[in-house]
Amino acid sequence: MTRVLNYINGQFQPALSGATIENIDPATGRVYGSLPQSNERDIEQAYDAAIQAFGSWRETTLEQRSAILYRIADLIEENLEELAQAESRDSGKPLLLAKTVDIPRASSNFRFFAHALTQFSSEAHESVGKNSINFTLRHPIGVVGCISPWNLPLYLFTWKIAPALAAGNTVVAKPSELTPVTAFLLAGLCQKAGLPAGVLNIVNGTGPSAGQAIVAHPKIKAISFTGGTATGAKIAGVAAPMFKKLSLELGGKNPNIIFSDCDYDRMLETTLKSSFANQGQICLCGSRIFVERPIYEKFKIDFVRRVSELRVGPPSEEVDLGAVISKDHKQKILGYIALAQKEGGNILTGGQETKLEQHPEGYYLQPTVIEVKDHLCRVNQEEIFGPVVTLMPFDNEEEVIEMANSVTYGLSASLWTSNLDRSMRFGQRLESGIVWVNTWLNRDLRTPFGGVKSSGVGREGGFEALRFFTEPKNICISYTP
């Protein structure tokens, strides 16, 4: 049994109430551990530790702060095997994915911000002719809250914590109650790296209990959240009237637009990944595939054949798809597959649960491709967040831009074409925070990351994140010449 504890003021401890939640292994459907079910009392204690630690953390020199963050990055790398095993077990994702994507990226997040903090600088504006000069300082905000989801647990947890700490804040953070283990292991590594007690506090529990208490805490002044759009709206409803700074990275329903002039083989390989990586549970997955009419039938045959060859199985083995996160989530996805059929969609492959003999209670689903007739049908509009993609042909640029932009979401879009002018036209007109041309999930951590419309507010990444986690203060000095 894996017993996760809170990490507050440098100490590992259960929830003050003693309450716990069961942690379920998605691969088997069995309970394999527990975590604290924290409430506002635990958050208060974490806040007290964080505010206590803030005074000295904000005064650490940039070199000292950077060195500690580099040490955390190194320790994540040194413990890659253990962290990857834990991540795969906790979330159901293939072990290989955890080893090659999740954990290396968690280390990169710390390494990146360890360096970035030494390059971040304030601005000065000389008011020429007015004998005045303005300095814009960027001070840490104080105690900030970071709340992360279950799909890329340590990857997204560290994507928030690293810049928050780099900017000189102290943190009260909550991983998803469905995937708490790697954040718990990270706490041990931070301790080992010499991060002072109280600088990072990790509190576990459900959203309505521990998450809500972070968001509603009157002195936690900024909230960085990644998760579902409905949860994001709830959080904004609580935080906005308190004038907190908010960064919300929410859902997506991303188009993958394929033109006949693309590099077909490269497109096909990448489209398999952009459709089904992590069982389709990545906010950047391209869940709506639009294919230009001349290659539509060929693509349909090739893609369906390749998808039906994908291996679904226990995440610890060499598989393409592991288990989805929970029983509820599995039911939600199956509900959408049923709805697709009701709406006249044609299931080209998949559509069922995968029952594994060794783990009949695990949450496995076949990768599913649905041909839809209408881009406005619900399965083409709502985020399913599972191994399900829709497929539709298109005839011209205008039509596909209209279809691509027809959803309430706007996180990312992929375009496959060898026409440079077209890639610029689409880059200009697609309503999304990120546009990839002839690639997918190609990330440079310096670039702004986030969405428009219902996909969120604000940007993460690079100096954008350091700006979010600091408060600008302008000092204007008038001098006698």
Catalytic residues: 249, 283
Q: Is 278 left (phi over 0), alpha (psi -120 to 50) or beta?
A: left
Of the residues 147, 162, 173, 186, which one makes contact with ligand TXE according to CB under 6 A = 147
Neighbouring residues of 169: CB distance < 8 A, sequence distance ≥ 6: 54, 57, 58, 140, 141, 142, 143, 144, 222, 469
Shortest distance, position 435 Cβ to ligand TXE, whole Å: 18
Shortest distance, position 457 Cβ to ligand TXE, whole Å: 13
Our CB check for ligand TXE shows the closer of 248 and 403 to be: 248
Q: Where does 241-292 have alpha helices with state H?
A: 264-276
Of the residues 140, 149, 286, 350, which one makes contact with ligand TXE according to CB under 6 A = 149
365 beta partners: 353
Q: Where does 356-472 have alpha helices with state H?
A: 397-404, 420-429, 462-468
Nearest to 221 by CA among 302, 115, 124, 146: 146
Our CB check for ligand TXE shows the closer of 163 and 252 to be: 252
Residue nearest to ligand TXE (CB): 207
Largest CA distance in the chain: 84
Instruction: Judge whether 99 and 110 are in contact, CB under 8 Å.
Output: no
Task: Check residue 99 and report its DSSP letter.
Answer: I
- Tell me if 211 contacts ligand TXE by CB under 6 A: yes
Our CB check for ligand TXE shows the closer of 138 and 174 to be: 174
- Tell me if 92 contacts ligand TXE by CB under 6 A: no
What stretch of H or E contains 304? Answer: helix 293-308
- Tell me if 163 contacts ligand TXE by CB under 6 A: no
Our CB check for ligand TXE shows the closer of 184 and 385 to be: 385
CA–CA separation, 428 vs 164, rounded Å? 32
Task: Check residue 195 and report its DSSP letter.
Answer: P
Shortest distance, position 249 Cβ to ligand TXE, whole Å: 5
Query: For 294-351, where are the E strands, in sequence order?
Result: 346-349
Of the residues 259, 385, 394, 468, which one makes contact with ligand TXE according to CB under 6 A = 385
Shortest distance, position 345 Cβ to ligand TXE, whole Å: 19
Of the residues 25, 87, 102, 249, which one makes contact with ligand TXE according to CB under 6 A = 249
Shortest distance, position 213 Cβ to ligand TXE, whole Å: 8
Q: Where does 120-223 have alpha helices with state H?
A: 153-166, 181-193, 212-216
Our CB check for ligand TXE shows the closer of 211 and 387 to be: 211
- Tell me if 212 contacts ligand TXE by CB under 6 A: yes
C-alpha torsion sign, points 353, 357, 363, 367: negative
Three-class secondary structure of residue 53 per DSSP: helix
Of the residues 42, 87, 177, 292, which one makes contact with ligand TXE according to CB under 6 A = 177
- Tell me if 235 contacts ligand TXE by CB under 6 A: yes
Our CB check for ligand TXE shows the closer of 8 and 172 to be: 172
Three-class secondary structure of residue 360 per DSSP: coil
CA–CA separation, 467 vs 470, rounded Å? 5
Part of the chain binding ligand TXE (CB under 6 A), chosen from 69-77, 246-254, 267-275, 298-306: 246-254
* Number of helices and strands in the chain (H, E): 15, 21
Residue 171 — φ and ψ, nearest 5°?
A: -130, 140
Of the residues 28, 204, 226, 417, which one makes contact with ligand TXE according to CB under 6 A = 226
- Tell me if 176 contacts ligand TXE by CB under 6 A: yes
Part of the chain binding ligand TXE (CB under 6 A), chosen from 41-49, 86-94, 124-132, 143-151: 143-151
Shortest distance, position 257 Cβ to ligand TXE, whole Å: 21
Shortest distance, position 327 Cβ to ligand TXE, whole Å: 12
- Tell me if 335 contacts ligand TXE by CB under 6 A: no
Neighbouring residues of 386: CB distance < 8 A, sequence distance ≥ 6: 279, 280, 281, 324, 329, 330, 332, 333, 336, 365
The interface mask with ligand TXE, positions 283-302, x = CB under 6 A, is x-------------------
Shortest distance, position 232 Cβ to ligand TXE, whole Å: 7
Shortest distance, position 157 Cβ to ligand TXE, whole Å: 9
Part of the chain binding ligand TXE (CB under 6 A), chosen from 6-14, 229-237, 298-306, 334-342: 229-237
- Tell me if 42 contacts ligand TXE by CB under 6 A: no
- Tell me if 234 contacts ligand TXE by CB under 6 A: yes
CA–CA separation, 69 vs 190, rounded Å? 9
Task: Provide DSSP, 338-359.
Answer: HHHHHTT-EEEE--SB---SS-
Per CB under 6 A, residues contacting ligand TXE are: 147-151, 174, 176-177, 206-208, 211-212, 215, 226-228, 231, 234-235, 249-251, 283, 383, 385
